[in-house]
Structure 1
C-alpha cells in the first residue's frame, strides 16, 4: 500500500505544470471531447508506466543493492532539482495530425510526450525502490489522472489559479526526502 500511495502522491504533484499536463490543456482546447481525451491519457499512461515500471524492476535484478541505493538516492535528488525546472511543450508532441481521431491522437501524443519525462523516470525509480511493480504502476497512473483529468475538464481556468511553483516545491521536497532517506539506508529492509 505504501508503494501505491507514495507513487500516486509524488506523480500527481510532479505532474502539475509538466509538459504532459500542458498537453492535456491543449488537447482539451482543440478537441473539446473530455471523455475520449481522459481515456487516451489513461491508456497511454498505463502502457508507458508499465514499461517504465518493468524497467525499474529489472534494474534491481542487475545491480547490487549497495549500488542501487546510491543510484536511487542520487536519482531522487536529481528528480527534486528537475521538478523545479518549468516545462514547455514541443510542437511535435501536440499531435498536429488528427488522422487517428481524438482518442488515437491523445494516446500517441501522450505516450510520446511521456517518453523520458520526469514522471516516467520517477516510475522507473519508484519501481526499483519499492520492488512492487503493479502498486507503483497503478499509483503513478492514478497520479497522472489526478493531475490531468482536472486539466482536461477545467482547462485554462484551473491553470491560472494553481500555485504551480508551490506545488513543484512540494514535489521537489518529497523527491529530496526520498533521495536522502534512500542514501541514509531507509531501504535496507528491501535489500538497498
Structure 2
C-alpha cells in the first residue's frame, strides 16, 4: 500500500503540473479565500479519484499483468504527449470563476469535479489502480493532485502571476516518457514474446507520430488565434 501511495503521489503530482486544474485553482484563489478553494478541490478530487480507482481496480483483475504494464506504459506515453501539447482554460471554464455566487465551496467543487472527468489525471489514476493497491492509489493520487493545486494557489497568491507553464510542462512530459519506457520495458521482459514486442513497438511509433501531428496542429491553431486577436486589437 505504501509503495502504491508514493508512486501515485509522484505520478499525479507530475501530471497536474501545468494542467488546467492548476490554472483554475489559481484563478479561484485570486478571488476567494484560499482555504475554501483548497477544501473544495480536496472534496472534488476525493470523489473523482474514488471513481477512478474502482474502475482501475476491476479492470486490473481481468487483464494479464504484462498487458497491464504495456497499457500503463502506452498511457504514460499519451500523457507525455498531452502535456507537451499544453493545457488551457476554455471560455466556459475560465468564466466559472467569474460567475460564482454565494456558495463558493460548492461552485468550486462542482467546477473541479466536472473539469477532471476524462482528464489525464483521472486516466492516470485508473491506470495506476489497475496494477497497484487501490487504497494506496486513491490516497496518493488525491494528495498528489491537491498538493500540486495548493502549490499553484500559493504561487499565484504570493507572486500574482502565472507559473512558467511551458518549462514545467516539458519537464513533466520528460518524466512521463521515462515512466512509459520503464513500464513497457518491464512488461515486455516478463512477456518473453517477440511478436508482442514488435506489436507494442509499432503501436508506440504510431501513437508518437499521431501525437506529434496533434501537437503541431494545436500549436498552429493557437498561433493563428493569437494573430487574429492581435489584428482585432489593432483595428480597434
TM tier, smaller? 0.7 to 0.9
Unaligned runs of 5+ in 1: none
How far 1:63 sits from its partner (Å)? 2.3
* CA-atom RMSD in angstroms: 2.3
Q: Is the 8 Å Cα contact of residues 15 and 119 (structure 1) preserved in structure 2?
A: yes
Higher RCO structure (Cα 8 Å, ≥6 apart): 1
| Counterpart residue number, 2:5 | 4
Name the count of aligned residue pairs.
186
Using structure 1 for the length normalisation, give the TM-score.
0.85
Partner secondary structure for residue 86 of structure 2: coil
| Counterpart residue number, 1:80 | 80
How far 1:49 sits from its partner (Å)? 0.8
| Counterpart residue number, 1:62 | 62
Q: Residue by residue, what CA displacement relative to the aligned partner does 1:144-182 show, whole Å, maximum 9, x if unpaired?
A: 12111132234262654x443333233222222222222
Unaligned runs of 5+ in 2: 191-236
**Runs of 4+ displaced beyond 4 Å:** 186-189
Larger radius of gyration: 2
Residues in 2 aligned to 1:124 and 1:100: alpha-carbon distance in whole angstroms = 34
Using structure 2 for the length normalisation, give the TM-score.
0.71
Residues in 2 aligned to 1:25 and 1:64: alpha-carbon distance in whole angstroms = 41
**Alignment map for 1:1-192 (pairs within 5 Å):** 1-30=2-31, 32-94=32-94, 95=96, 97-99=99-101, 101-129=103-131, 131-155=132-156, 157=159, 159-160=161-162, 162-185=163-186
Residues in 1 aligned to 2:82 and 2:177: alpha-carbon distance in whole angstroms = 11
